[in-house]
Amino acid sequence: MLESLDAGGQRYHFISLRAAQRAGLIQAFRLPVTLRILLENSLRCREPGDEHDLQALRDWLVQGSSDQEISFHPARVLMPDASGIPLLGDLAAMREAVSAAGGDPAHVNPMIPVDVVVDHSCITEYAGSDQAYDLNLALEYRRNAERYTFLKWAQGSFANLRVIPPSMGIAHQVNVEHLARVVWTGPGAGGRAMAYPDTLVGLDSHTPMVNGIGVLGWGVGGIEAGAAMLGQPISMLLPEVVGCRITGRPQAGVTSTDIVLTLTEALRRRKLVGKFVEYYGDGLDHLPLSHRATISNMAPESGATMCFFPVDQATIDYLQATGRSAEQIELVRAYAHAQGLWRPADGEAIVYSERMEFDLGAVRPSMAGPSRPQDRVDLGGAPQRFAEAYAERLQGWQPPTEPLRADVPDAPPRHLQHGDIVLAAITSCTNTSNPQAMVGAGLLARKLRQRGVGVRPWVKTSLAPGSRVVMDYLEAAGLKQDLDALGFQLVGYGCMTCAGASGPLAPEVAAQIEESDLVVASVLSGNRNFEGRTHALVRANFLCSPALVVAYACAGSIGIDLTRMPLALGRDGRPVWLSEVWPDEAEIETVMREHISATLYRRRYADSDRGEQRWQALQAPRGMHYDWDEHSTYIRRPPYFELDNGEPGIGQGDIVGARPLALLGDSITTDHISPVHAIRSGTVAGDYLAGLGVEPADFNTLLTRRGNHEVMMRGTFDNPRLRNAMAGGREGGWTRHEPDGGILPVYQAAERYRAEGVPLVVVAGGEYGTGSSRDWAAKGTRLLGVRAVIAESFERIHRSNLVGMGVLPLQLPPGTRAADLGLDGSETFTVTGPWASLQPRQALSCEIRRDNGESTCIELICRLDIPREIAWYRAGGILPYVAGVLVSAGAPAASA
């Protein structure tokens, strides 16, 4: 099956799917393109004589689905610093554990390329000024010096590890614009140069953004990615693949954001958890690569594992536009054609698990909110959606009937009202990766500026692109001046407001919100708008295009229907309508053609791993083992190798007499479980830091404190919008301790249960663990003493993370709702099973005993889905499992 091709002046060998089909092994070209890539991966990486994965793929062709697991060996791993630093800390601790057990710590080392992009540590502390970027960056380095020093140690201590320093961009945008190759190369047997598909897993759920250029990759938990880095294959059920036929072309004025929000709404209805989506059809001819990347970025919001666009001419055009080498582009074209990975001309000939159709021509200007990305609404419907969502709190509120009037200079500030927009952020790689979207926002700002329209004084505005190239072309086109004039000055390059790092509101604005208990709003060009994520004081959060962010910042209220009302009055007192200032496609294309070139990308990424002066000046220790500072409030030795895996309910035995720590509803997100917001005084985490002498101004965020398990345990389940039925009607991180009935912070209750020797469970509704692939949502759960999570359904990554931490995911039988159990939190739970002979998805018995002595027995589905997960669970999690492999084998994990 080994064939060769010539490209870029070099000969490459490759495992040929055409040869496999000719040999009668499998009908490779009836498979979706995504599964062709998995087929190549299996054929290239399998042990001699191992036919399991090949047979699973043959069976898939017959049924369009499979209950068989296969092994996936990604070419590389991508991670942002927020997930990467804790994972590297885990590996550093694993080195010590392996060494203490008599193994070779040098074997704890990445065996495939790993990129860490530092993009999650910047906070929008300063905004609305020309100095905002420099001030935010200086503060970022001051607060994160320990974390960045650790990263530099890791870069020097671990092989195959590259760090893209702070202020270079967001991981997924940097990946699409620079890191991704589409076709990877490496040495093969006999020293031959091998070509194979660029594949990856990422420690962030929006890793699928790279699917837009034909690269197979998706988000996994850092716990699982760590095993892959050490040579362990990723075991996965062979997924169902939904073929989505794209037809039509977008109407004038429709943005990529409108398309992705509409598509997210359509896909979410199809229950896609664990499934791939693959696009085909003539409509793809009208979707430029930048639009495809936006769509793929939001795959997690649709519920899918990934949303894939096969390589075609749009891919080649994008690689040229972003400055890839001519040799690499020639290899991509040649390999995709030779291997049958070029976009098939006839998608109808492919076997898909199911099919659907999406008409680009039916898309209308859209937003999504106020708290879930799949809750799309037509642009004109935003006021009604807001009113319906908060009817009980608004008490007869009526949306404005005319444009709001900004205050005259030196006048007292206007009193805020329900629906006022207090945050407007052009943020996130989802949309800032799209030049059409960013140029459109700049042109709208220019037209509004020309009419004398400004941003309302109570709105905090910010611009945080995912790539430095964005500012290059905005400045070259003169659009930076227009955005600056409206208050959208650069605040940083990274996941800022989109990841909850929106920074403080103006003191007078925050005071009014709290004193009047106002329901205020934000507009952001991101991908997530979950409760409590964007800002603790902002309940309503709407996703929209960068241009609409600008428009709403000038309108000032989510209650203004921009399709029926002017957004403001101009300098001349005449109304300014959105339709008359909205830039058309010709204007946008002219700016792009004149001011965006491959040279911009080549220049910006030529030395992206060097960083700016502050990074270069950081001094880091050297050595195989990291010298932990026991007084550090940022980087502490992880405790996972010190946990007693023999304690009841972990890995082997029954869970007896467990108390519920929380009774939760549907759509509990990883933000609810492990929030990322700024650490506040008066919280358990804040009190802990204050007790160590940290000033409140330096508490930083729960996101940046992920290297300190003591802080993170205290922040688990401490989202201000969490609704726990055991909290006595209070929102936030509260629960009830049983049997005394006292209401306590979750952490304090968990500590009391620990002292009493009582195991814990969490009970929840459907879609438990939606959102980010946040390891700490599982790590914090485990460290609080939770032995099992009982839910109606789980999101894919979080379920895997729970298993990876030794927490048992248990699913209620189909048709049974958590609410049907009649729980009030006073119950105890006992889960029993045949642990020694446990099989994937086996039914386990659960006895629920109530405080009146009555008991109910139900069967739960054990969501250990594949044999390898059972092995992980028995070991107490992935990390102890891999450490055991390294010690027992006496060799790198790949040889085990």
CB 23: neighbour CB atoms within 10 A?
10
Task: Answer whether residue 234 shows pLDDT above 90.
Answer: no
State which CATH number among 3.40.50.300, 2.40.30.10, 2.60.40.1120, 3.20.19.10 fits the domain covering 655-673+720-875. 3.20.19.10
Q: What is the pLDDT of residue 651?
A: 63
d(CA 537, CA 555): 20
| Secondary structure tally for the chain: helices H, strands E | 33, 32
Q: What's the whole-number mean pLDDT along residues 785-792?
A: 97
Residue 535 has pLDDT above 50, yes or no: yes
CATH assignment of 368-400+416-583, among 3.40.50.300, 3.40.50.2300, 3.30.499.10, 1.10.800.10: 3.30.499.10
Q: How far apart are CA 659 and CA 616, in angstroms?
A: 51
Nearest to 803 by CA among 235, 74, 174: 235
Q: Using an 8 Å Cβ cutoff, are 634 and 147 in contact?
A: yes
Cα 856-861-864 angle, rounded to 5 deg: 140
Amino acid at 188: G
Cα distance between residue 253 and residue 248, in whole Å: 15
Query: Per this entry, what is the length of the chain?
Result: 896
Say how far apart CA 780 and CA 716 lie, in whole Å: 6
∠ at Cα 78 (133, 798), nearest 5°? Answer: 100
Helices 435-450 and 546-555 sit at what angle, rounded to 10 degrees? Answer: 30
Whether 557 and 399 have beta carbons less than 8 Å apart is answered as yes
DSSP letter string over 611-675?
--HHHHH-----SSS----TT-SS-----TTTS-TTSTTSSSS-EEEEEEEEE--S--BHHHHS-
What pLDDT does residue 533 have? 87
Whether the CA torsion 885, 887, 893, 896 is positive or negative: it is: negative
Q: Check residue 176 and report its DSSP letter.
A: I
Q: Residue 701's closest CA among 497, 435, 543?
A: 497
For residue 235, name the pLDDT band (cuts at 50, 70, 90): confident
- Identify each DSSP E strand in 485-551 by its residue range: 521-524, 540-543
Three-state SS at 407: coil
Q: Residue 534 has which token pair?
A: 């964007």
Give the separation between CA 72 and CA 882, rounded to whole angstroms.
17
What is the three-class DSSP state of 781? helix
What are the tens digits of pLDDT across the range 26-82? 999 999 999 999 999 999 998 887 888 999 999 999 999 998 889 999 999 999 999
pLDDT for residue 742 is more than 90: yes
pLDDT reported for residue 648: 38
Query: Taking Cα atoms as reference points, which of 375, 446, 459 lies closest to residue 414?
Result: 459
State yes or no: pLDDT of 407 exceeds 60.
no
Biggest CA-to-CA distance, the chain? 81
Q: Decide: 252 and 220 in contact? Cβ < 8 Å.
A: no
Stretch (H or E) spanning 447: helix 435-450
Identify which has the larger pLDDT, 676 or 615: 615
Residue 895 pLDDT grade (very low, low, confident, very high; cuts 50, 70, 90) = very low
Predicted local distance difference test score (pLDDT) of residue 410: 45
Give 884 or 31, the one with higher predicted confidence: 31
CB 384 within 8 A of CB 393: no
Mean pLDDT of 535-542: 95
Which tokens hold the place of 123? Answer: 């906070």
Q: Cα separations (Å) of 187 from 13, 193, 200?
A: 10, 5, 18
Residue by residue, DSSP assigns 181-193 as -SEEEEE-GGG-E
- The owner of tokens 């290059």 is 472
Three-class DSSP labels, 360-406: HHHCCCEEECCCCCCCEEEHHHHHHHHHHHCHHHHCCCCCCCCCCCC
| HSE-CB for 426 with a 13 A CA cutoff | 39
CA torsion sign, 689 to 694 to 700 to 703?
negative
Bridge pairing between strands 828-832 and 808-811: unpaired
Say which residue the tokens 């502050």 belong to: 614
Question: Cβ neighbours of residue 302 under 8 Å, at least 6 residues apart?
Answer: 263, 264, 267, 268, 272, 277, 374
Selection from 434, 192, 406 nearest residue 297 by Cα: 434
Confidence (pLDDT) at 413: 58
Give the model confidence (pLDDT) of 429-488 as tens digits.
Answer: 999 999 999 999 999 999 999 999 999 999 999 999 999 999 999 999 999 999 999 999
Binned at pLDDT 50, 70 and 90, residue 406 comes out as low
Angle at the Cα of 749 from the Cα atoms of 745 and 751, rounded to 5 degrees: 120
Instruction: Indicate the average pLDDT of the chain.
Output: 93
Residue 139's SS3 state is helix
Q: Express each pLDDT in 641-660 by its tens digit.
A: 875 544 434 566 899 999 99
Cβ of 633: how many Cβ atoms within 10 Å? 20
Phi, psi values for residue 37, rounded to 5°: -65, -40
Work out the angle between the directed axes of helices 81-100 and 145-157 (0-180°, nearest 10): 60
232 and 110 Cβ atoms separated by less than 8 Å: no
Alpha carbon of 431 to those of 54, 425, 428, 446, 669: distances in Å? 39, 11, 6, 19, 22
The predicted-structure confidence for 314-362, as pLDDT tens digits, reads as follows 999 999 999 999 999 999 999 999 999 999 998 899 999 999 999 999 9
Say if CB 331 and CB 12 are below 8 A apart: yes
Check if the beta carbon of residue 205 is closer than 8 Å to that of residue 220: no
CA distance 699 to 385: 36
Q: For strand 10-15 and strand 2-7, is the pairing parallel, antiparallel, or unpaired?
A: antiparallel
**Cα–Cα distance between 317 and 454 in angstroms, integer?**
38
- State the Cα–Cα distance between residues 244 and 241, nearest whole angstrom: 9
Closest CA to 257 of 246, 265, 269: 265
Strand order across the beta sheet in which 540-543 lies: 376-378, 366-368, 540-543, 521-524, 421-427, 460-464
Tell me the domain boundaries of the chain: 2-72, 368-400+416-583, 655-673+720-875, 675-715
Cα distance between residue 601 and residue 445, in whole Å: 25
Question: Are the beta carbons of 118 and 166 closer than 8 angstroms?
Answer: yes
**Environment class of 737 (CB within 10 Å of its CB; exposed 0-12, middle 13-18, buried 19+):** buried
Helix locations, 46-131, DSSP H: 52-63, 81-100
CB 458 within 8 A of CB 549: no
Q: What is the pLDDT of residue 531?
A: 83
Dist CA 746 CA 71 (whole Å):
39
Whole-number percent of the chain with pLDDT over 90: 84
Report, in angstroms and rounded to the nearest whole number, the Rg of the chain calculated over CA atoms: 27
Sorted by sequence, the CB contacts under 8 Å of residue 462 that are 6+ apart come out as: 124, 127, 128, 132, 424, 425, 426, 427, 488, 489, 491, 496, 497, 502
Strand pairing class (276-280; 241-247) = parallel
470 burial via Cβ count (<10 Å: 0-12, 13-18, 19+): buried
CA angle 704, 705, 711 (to 5 degrees): 155
Dihedral angle of Cα 17, 18, 19, 25, to the nearest 10 degrees? 70
Rounded to whole angstroms, the Cα distance separating 278 from 341 reads 12
Q: Has residue 896 got a pLDDT over 70?
A: no
Angle, vertex CA 770, rays to CA 766 and CA 776, nearest 5: 120
CB 641 within 8 A of CB 346: no
Amino acid at 402: E
For residue 322, the one-letter residue type is: T
**16 alpha-carbon distance from chain centroid:** 34
